[in-house]
Amino acid sequence: MSKPVPRRQLQPKKTPPSNKILRFRKSERHIHWAIAIPFMVCFASALILVVFYNPNPLRPYRDVFSWAHRISGVCLFIMPFVAMFKSRHDIRVYFYNIRQAWVWTVEDIKWLMLMGLAAVNKKIKLPDQGKFNAAEKINFMVLMATFPLYILTGALIWLTDGAFLSWIVHFGMALLALPLMGGHIFMATINPNTRKGLPGMISGMVDRDWAKHHYTAWYREQFEGIRVDEKSGRNLEFTFDGKTVKTEGMPIKEHLLRNSHEITAEAKLADPHGDCSEKIENTETRSEPASAMERQVEAYAAEVLAKQKRFEADSEEVLARQRRFETDRGKAVA
């Protein structure tokens, strides 16, 4: 007669989390490429015109590059609005990204100051960043500020005679864009530490550990249910057993310690970074009346224990059925 199946084999297997997470939605990727592709064509054609044809305008195929520059400029004006219209159901995502780019914190300034040192010294840890790091925020802000000027000055150069001032502004913005665009392309395609993020603008998916390392604050908010105040860096709320709990600006563990007499396993997992200096073990039951938070934690704990007891009872029943089956089979063979 075969041995009964051990209880540990009857427990449901936990599915490990995917190593890929969604970094950018389709609407975000569409508007990125709707701007990036025409802009790069504009820049490349302008560079050829300035370097190759300005010294000698009579060289052949000048009109080809001139019209390529104009057509790509028209596309740069039209395509972003087409992309936004097609993804108008995601308009809140665009406003969220704009806000993320224009809201700066002390951590962003620290990140910029330490960026160069961190590139040569791995012991230097950069401050946690949100959805965009400080360098990406600068790129975002410069693009938003210069986009209407590119369109306006380009149209004046094309449609009017003697628009010398417009040409100076247009050319000056192109010079400003050169290091920003070059740095962005280098970090996205060549730098080994950051090029892992390029699939985020192609398929939308990036490596989980990479995102957690480079965009820690964003990762915690999106995938660990912890929302952080952008200015103070303090936790505002966290997800506790599928429900949102506000922390009133206190670290999560400190909030639970002050408002409950029992810390469940789920509450510990809700704050994996351990930003509270107080210890959670040996917490004593308080004599004052239970607060709403205490009752909530106790209810969650009771629900978890009830589920565990039901699972153990089901496991015992399965084992009992298996024993009866083995006994009946043994009798039938005999």
Cα distance between the two ends of the chain: 11
CA nearest 43: which of 174, 225, 179?
174
For residue 216, the tally of other CB atoms under 10 A from its CB is 18
pLDDT per residue as tens, the chain (334 positions): 455 545 444 444 544 556 889 999 999 999 999 999 999 999 999 999 999 998 888 899 999 999 999 999 999 999 999 999 999 998 999 999 999 999 999 999 999 999 888 888 888 888 999 999 999 999 999 999 999 999 999 999 998 877 889 999 999 999 999 999 999 999 999 999 899 999 999 999 999 999 999 999 899 888 876 555 544 445 555 554 444 555 544 444 444 444 444 344 444 444 444 444 333 334 334 434 445 666 666 776 677 677 667 767 776 777 777 777 777 777 776 6
CA distances from 78 to 73, 103, 109, 148 (A): 9, 27, 34, 12
Question: Starting from the edge strand earliest in sequence, which strands make up the sheet with 226-228, in order?
Answer: 226-228, 235-240, 243-246
- In three-state secondary structure terms, 205 is strand
Taking the C-alpha atoms of residue 32 and residue 87, their distance in angstroms, rounded to an integer, is 13
320-328: Cβ within 8 A, 24+ apart: 322/4, 322/5, 323/4, 326/1, 326/2, 326/4
The radius of gyration computed from the CA coordinates of the chain, to the nearest angstrom, equals 29
The CATH classification number of 22-212 equals: 1.20.950.20
pLDDT tens string 22-45: 999 999 999 999 999 999 999 999
For residue 10, the tally of other CB atoms under 10 A from its CB is 15
Question: CB of 73 within 8 A of CB of 39?
Answer: no
Which residue is listed with tokens 């399965």? 318
CA nearest 98: which of 133, 68, 44, 137?
137
Domain locations in the chain as residue ranges: 22-212, 224-334
